[in-house]
Homo-oligomer: A and B are copies of this chain.
Amino acid sequence: MNQKIIKVAVAGASGRMGREVVKMVLGDPELELVAAVARTVPNTDAGRLVGMDACGVNVTNDLELALVESKPDVLVDFTTPQSAVVNTRLAIRHRVRPIMGTTGFTPEDIAELDKQCKAEGIGGLIAPNFSIGAILMMKFAAQASKYFPHLEIIEYHGDQKLDAPSGTAVKTAELIAEVREELRQGNPNEHETIEGSRGGLYQGFRIHSVRLPGVFAQQEVIFGAFGQTLKIRHDSYDRAGYMPGVNTAVKKVMGYTGMIYGFEHLID
């Protein structure tokens, strides 16, 4: 097959995920890095930034300019929830397919961005998680919640993570809430002697966020019923473990139109 090389811009290129994306793009002959954007390290070669040979692409700090000048096919954005919506709009306006690895989108945002993608005739992806293991965990959890409506989610991340619960936990909770019977779990008269100990309440079930050094990203969904417990757990140890998923997303986004929310819709 005579496959066209896909031109990729990376936003958040100096962040921990961004660096892995730069490495992944530079390492795949079917992809070409055409721009790397980061606030803090202008005028560094993007290859050097990630400990590889110079690649001839300098890091810049103006996303719009970078998109206009380098004309990428795809933007991979691992910036912040604060800039997520703005960056996505910008990419679509320049007909660059956005792959957004950030949280911070409301359902209204997603609906609006889907319309914009369709208007421009391009695809897009918003994905809190690019891990196939995490996707299976979410799918299995949603399936199990049909039989076991009593459940809680516990997620574990590094102790410097700012937001709780994690994007993956919220996404899991949403997928469960779509299929689980409505139920407010627990004793209606339960009370906390230490505020917050029962966790965050979402659609009648609880989410707990653990933050500890040494943990990368883990999540367990626990289902309880008379005489039995079912647990589905995913442990991520390494950022690089997400890159096969991002790579798949970059290639698949070329083949459809509209904004997809959730990497799980791109597999199987």
Copies of chain A in the complex? 4
- Interface residue stretch chosen among A61-69, A87-95, A155-163: A155-163
A196 touches B187 (CB 8 A): no
Contact with B along A134-164 (1 / 0, CB 8 A): 1011001001100110111010100111111
The listed residue (B143, B211, B228) touching A131 by CB distance below 8 A is B228
A199 touches B193 (CB 8 A): no
Number of interface residues of A (CB under 8 A): 79
A241 touches B222 (CB 8 A): no
Q: Say how far A251's CB is from chain B's closest CB, in angstroms.
A: 13
A225 touches B244 (CB 8 A): yes
Q: Which residue of B lies closest to A134 (CB)?
A: B228
Q: Could you list 12 examples of A-B contacts with CB < 8 Å?
A: A132-B147, A152-B211, A195-B201, A196-B196, A196-B201, A212-B222, A214-B237, A215-B224, A228-B234, A228-B241, A231-B233, A232-B233
